[in-house]
Chain A
Amino acid sequence: MRRTVAALLRKELLVELRTLQSVPGMSLFAVTTFVVFHFALNRNSVEGDLAAGILWVTLLFAAILGINRLFVADADQGGFDGFLLAPVERSAMLVAKALTLLGFLVVLELVAVPAFALLLLGPSLGGELPGLLETLALGDIGIAAVGTLVAALAVRTSARDLLGPLLALPLLLPIVIGGARATSPLLTLAHPTGPPARWLLTLGLYDLVFGLIAYALFDFLLED
């Protein structure tokens, strides 16, 4: 299993490095969205609920771009069939794709969070960074699990570009809610506090549930 995941991850990395289709697109989308918010809200800075909402909704839509492209090379170039013919555990592809998406999200956030702080955020992130990273990590794991599941489901349909976002958005909504509620106290000007434990727990539980659902369903999604 580990060897197969490593082979798949290596392939994913090479394909992304050569095509630069997912991560640059996701990052550019996020930065552009912050610029749009900056002008549309006609405000130099935001804080609290509004700031958390803008950050998470932007990350969600940027993630959708990555989710939509997650299996495209495999579906278009026959990689699915090549993988299915090999005597390996099929869940290795779930693990590899989820880790790939997780990697994309981390790189996206390395670009998007500083851009958000620069373009829109009122309070400084300094002291609240560990709490924000903790919340983002939990959100990313959930997005990776749900996103991989949805992408595998959508990619074998003729309407994959439409079906992917339509399925992903409602399933990712709890992550956005949990993420925004957990992030909001970190982004207040007055007395920033750490992320509320119950929202972190909610995110963690959601990650666990969808991780298990994805693991249980993935083999069937690859079947004819």
Chain B
Amino acid sequence: MAALQVEGLARHFGEREALSDVSLTLAEGQTLVVFGPNGAGKTTFLRVLATLLRPHAGEVRVLGRSLPREAWAVRGRVGLLAHEPLLYRELTARENLCFHARLHGVGERRVDELLEALAMSARARERLRTLSRGMVQRVAIARAVLHEPELLLLDEPYSNLDPAAVELVAPLIGAGTDPGGRRTRVICSHDPSGGLAQADVVLGLRAGRPALLRAAAEVRPGEIAELYR
């Protein structure tokens, strides 16, 4: 079954066209990596898939459900790691994760497991605003995977992370890391070689339009670099 089916997707903000004529299909368990310069529409694309933005034209099916009509059936099956951590600065890392765990009907044991896996147990009871950006990113990753989503949407997941932290988060958001190995991922990246290494399919966006859409094996890093020129 296709995890994503997008046909002629368009989304605008006022007069500005953020996405136009985006069409693609992604099979379950595959990874789509989206490249493109700032303002190319990568984040908008992720937010549409996450049901946070309505498509203004085209057909979007996520995990077999049509958006926005069946968005209610997609929520809870999607994990989003956005630019913003979607966490409260005045709550501790653990309080934030427990809050989201309650919303998703997940037990607190899972929270503690994730904090342990991300080497955050020692700082789990400190308020988020006192943590470094890298630590906040780790907590945000824990929030995104807390409910073991079928579709993981990751906007530059390794930003602010040092090499040791990248090693810690990789088992949580890497390919085939869920028990069934069927997790589908959409990753926005600015790193051509790192992104290509993870991708099954590559989408290159320029000014909201697809400039590149191909299997990753057929894409050269130079073509991705071309998107940014």
Using a CB–CB cutoff of 8 Å, the interface residues on chain A facing chain B are 3-4, 6-7, 10-11, 14-15, 18-19, 73, 77-79, 81-88, 223-224
Contact = CB atoms under 8 A, between A and B. Distances in A.
Interface in B73-125: 75-80, 82, 84-91, 95, 99-100, 102-105
A4 B103 contact: yes
B90 A78 contact: no
A78 B84 contact: yes
Given A7-B99, A10-B99, A86-B76, A77 B88 contact: yes
* 6 smallest beta-carbon distances between A and B, as pairs: A87-B76, A86-B103, A7-B102, A78-B86, A82-B86, A78-B84
Among the interface residues B51, B87, B103, which one has the most CB atoms of the partner chain A within 10 A? Answer: B103
A81 B87 contact: no
Q: Name the prevailing secondary structure of the B interface residues.
A: loop
B88 A11 contact: yes
A192 B196 CA distance: 80
A32 B172 CA distance: 53
| Size bracket, chain B contacts | 20 to 34
Contacts of A7: 99, 102-103
A4 B104 CA distance: 9
Q: Name the prevailing secondary structure of the A interface residues.
A: helix
Interface of B: 50-54, 72, 75-80, 82, 84-91, 95, 99-100, 102-105, 127, 143
A7 B50 CA distance: 22
A73 B90 CA distance: 9
Nearest to A3: B102
Among the interface residues A15, A77, A83, A84, which one has the most CB atoms of the partner chain B within 10 A? Answer: A77
B104 A81 contact: no
A11 B86 CA distance: 14
Contact of B86 (A14, A19, A79, A88): A79
Contacts of B143: 82
Given A3-B102, A4-B102, A78-B82, A85 B50 contact: yes
Contact of A85 (B75, B85, B105): B75
A181 B208 CA distance: 58
Given A15-B88, A15-B90, A18-B127, A82 B75 contact: no
A11 to B, nearest CB: 5
Contacts of A223: 54
17 contacts: A3-B105, A7-B102, A7-B103, A11-B88, A11-B95, A14-B90, A15-B90, A77-B88, A77-B89, A78-B82, A78-B86, A82-B87, A82-B143, A84-B51, A84-B75, A85-B76, A86-B103
